[in-house]
A = this chain, B = another copy of it.
Amino acid sequence: MPPLTVQPRNAGTEGLRRQNTAAVLRSLREHGASSRAELAQHTGLAKATVGVIVAGLEAAGVVVEEDVRSGTRGRPGRPLTLRGERHVGLGLELNVDYVSAVVLDLGGTVLAGDTRPATGPDALGGLVRDVVGEHLPGREVVGTTLAVPALVRGDDRTVAWAPNLDVAGRDLAATVSGLVPGGAVQVSNDANCAAYAEAHHGAARGARHALYLTGTVGIGAGILQHGELVRGGAGFAGEVGHVPVGDPAAACGCGRRGCWEASVGLHAMLAAVGMPELDTPLRSAEAVAARALDDAGVRAGLERVGHDLGLGIAMLSSILDPEVVVLGGYFAALGDLVLAPARRTLDERLASPAQVRPDLRASTLGIGAAALGAAEQSLGPVFAGELDLTGQLPG
């Protein structure tokens, strides 16, 4: 297959068509199966225009007609759906102790996904072969995104700093390019990816301004404004772990005291409840949650962690004013054990009387959030009108 290429020019009428095609695709993703008439309503385009656009998408295999649904008056519409039998986005995650991969189609369906314990980028090759290999015939990979727990530069390719992973300075995008079938490859921060996933498929669905916090040994944040990730000038936005809102006496791995993650990071939480660390953050948290059922001391420890968590969220909320705050990582496994006290602290702490309290929710996506969000990011250019699927010959 010829490689998909990003079309930068938007000045001519072809760019207009790309924009309108993307609007149709967005409408299909948002509203699900729709007839041409419904698409015309939702997008504001004329019926005739929608007809032409849909014809192109059908020819490219992006859109298929489903069975006619009748029952209403008048001629029944022929519902179109995005079950992309041809185009998928690939999401990978390289983390400290596991690698993960997700194949996502244009309709938002996860076609395949796997997570396996591993250390180091070498495991990615095999995982990609296994997960993608058997699902690829007849499909085309629109793009690949690799999520890593690291500071990723604004070029979306290179890692500037990774405290727990030996990838600093490497052009990871180039490495990944050799492993995947085709399409654009980019690298992205894992918290950013997870935030994106929660906004599209998880607890923050429907919110245009959201904050995602991942709790592991450190604390990372993904910030969404108008549905788009806030990256900052160098791409490093969201580094909230060492914000000084924790217990001023708590020593942090960074050498200072009072860092947030020294009070609410995994190790601090385990110390607060007096329990040992297990092989993964998730399993540690699950053990704590189980013990909390009949141990008041554990519940009290989590209460304190939840309070400190709320302090930091209050601070971030007054700066960023999110509608929803999603808690991922080990926080999700503890659920209301930490969310409830965090909510109470948040209520007390909001800076001004008029401030709106953001909705605190536990992540619903679990450990696969980052890879899913990475896959969703790979599909982003399609829905933004930056990538033209129509130019391809039908398979």
Residues of A within 8 A of B (CB): 9-11, 13, 15-16, 19-20, 23, 43-45, 49, 151, 160-161, 163, 168, 207-209, 221, 223, 225, 230-245, 248, 254, 311, 315-316, 318-323, 351-356, 358
Is the Cβ of A239 less than 8 Å from the Cβ of B355? Answer: yes
Given contacts A242-B318, A319-B239, are A353 and B233 in contact (CB under 8 A)?
Answer: no
In the complex, which residue of chain B has the Cβ closest to the Cβ of A355?
B236
Q: Give A248 to B19 CA distance when docked, in angstroms.
A: 53
Closest to A319 in B: B240
Contact status B239-A352, CB under 8 Å: yes
User: Is B320 a contact of A356 with CB atoms below 8 Å?
Assistant: no
**Interchain CB contact under 8 A, B225 and A318:** no
Contact B319 A254 (CB under 8 A): no
Give bound CA distance, A208 to B230, whole Å: 12
CB-based contact A352/B244 at 8 Å: no
Docked Cα-Cα span, A202 to B259, in Å, equals: 34
Determine the residue in chain B with the shortest Cβ distance to A321.
B232
Knowing A44-B11, A225-B232, A233-B209, the reply to whether A161 touches B352 (Cβ < 8 A) is yes
Decide: B234 and A321 in contact? CB cutoff 8 A: yes
A319 touches B221 (CB 8 A): yes
With a CB–CB cut-off of 8 A, which chain B residues contact A19? 10-11
- Is there an interface contact between A13 and B16, defined as CB atoms closer than 8 Å? yes
Query: What is the oligomeric copy number?
Result: 2
- CA distance in complex: A208, B239 (Å): 19
Complex: how many Å from CA A233 to CA B235?
22
B315 touches A161 (CB 8 A): no
- Contact, CB under 8 Å: A233 / B321: yes
Please classify the interface of chain A as helix (H, G, I), strand (E, B), loop, or mixed, using the class held by over half of its residues. Answer: loop
Hey, which chain B residues are within 8 Å of A316, CB to CB?
Answer: 319
CB-defined A-B contacts under 8 Å, sample of 16: A11-B45, A11-B49, A13-B16, A16-B16, A151-B355, A163-B352, A209-B232, A225-B225, A232-B320, A236-B318, A236-B352, A236-B355, A239-B318, A242-B318, A244-B315, A319-B319
Enumerate chain B residues within 8 angstroms of A168, measured Cβ to Cβ. 354
Give Cα A108 to B320, complex, Å.
Answer: 30
- Residues of the B chain whose Cβ atoms lie less than 8 Å from the Cβ of A20: 11
Q: Are the C-beta atoms of A232 and B352 separated by less than 8 Å?
A: no
Do B241 and A351 touch across chains, with their CB atoms under 8 A apart?
Answer: yes
Bound-complex Cα distance A240 to B317 (A): 10
A230 touches B230 (CB 8 A): yes
Shortest distance from the beta carbon of A133 to any chain B beta carbon, whole Å: 36
- A16-B16, A354-B236 given; A230·B43 CB < 8 A: no
CA distance A23 to B10 in the complex (A): 11
A151 touches B352 (CB 8 A): yes
Q: Contacts A13-B13, A311-B244, A316-B319 hold; do A233 and B356 have CB atoms under 8 A apart?
A: yes
Closest chain B CB from A18 CB (angstroms): 12
Q: Bound state CA distance, A54 and B181, in angstroms?
A: 46
Q: Are A238 and B16 in contact (CB under 8 A)?
A: no
Other-chain contact of A321, B208, B235, B311 (Cβ < 8 Å): B235
- Cα–Cα, bound, A359→B353 (Å): 33
A161 contact set on B, CB distance < 8 A:
352-355
Contacts of A241 in B (CB 8 A): 351
Partner of A11, one of B10, B43, B322, B323: B43
Give 8 closest A-B pairs by Cβ, nearest first. Answer: A232-B321, A161-B354, A233-B323, A209-B233, A160-B354, A242-B351, A237-B321, A239-B318
